[in-house]
A and B are shown apart, each in its own frame.
Chain A
């Protein structure tokens, strides 16, 4: 059974304090690892897709990396507007995405 575990559940940072979110996964046949950002009451916003170990993607203050067992979302010098829940999902068997429970990030000014 495919499994995705995100840590920490919640993270509080000061503005400018860089950190990383973790997504560990167990799947048979990875068909992509996806990062999403979700603001309260809104739909998830697609951020990145990673397909193979060693791959990296960047967008503004965010950088996603992938190994054979986990992915990291690095946040460099975060701003309050980066506060959101970050969801990791894997595409594996069938047509389904398996989501982690998310990391709720709060960036204080």
Chain B
């Protein structure tokens, strides 16, 4: 089973709200990723967790805060977002070391910031 799940599917939030995106995988993968994707563009890497430790932060603004509670779960906490943060947020996982091998993506959370 190569499934990554994400909740919620859609999220609308105001600029003063705090919300969280959740991602889960039960494939025993040890690397997990957050990406942001704008329309008609490829995914942009935000964060990488390898063996539950943050290994890459692609200079993402602090209004995005990742968390990896255990090897199966990945959260993205959102606070004081801007309208330009509206996008499809994708979670992915890969079997071994981060960057080695294919990544499996979840269906995404469509985020709209009003």
Contact = CB atoms under 8 A, between A and B. Distances in A.
Q: Which of A31, A34, A43, A46 has the most CB of B within 10 A?
A: A43
Contacts of A34: 102-103
A95 B31 contact: yes
A91 B88 contact: no
B43 interface: yes
Given A42-B107, A44-B105, A100 B42 contact: yes
Contacts of B100: 31-32, 91
B102 A96 contact: no
Interface string B39-71: 011110100101000011000000000000000
B103 A97 contact: yes
A102 interface: yes
B83 interface: no
A96 B45 contact: yes
Interface of A: 31-32, 34, 36, 41-46, 49, 87, 89, 91, 94-97, 99-102
Given A42-B108, A43-B108, A96-B99, 10 more contacts: A32-B101, A34-B102, A41-B108, A46-B103, A91-B99, A94-B56, A95-B48, A96-B45, A97-B45, A97-B99
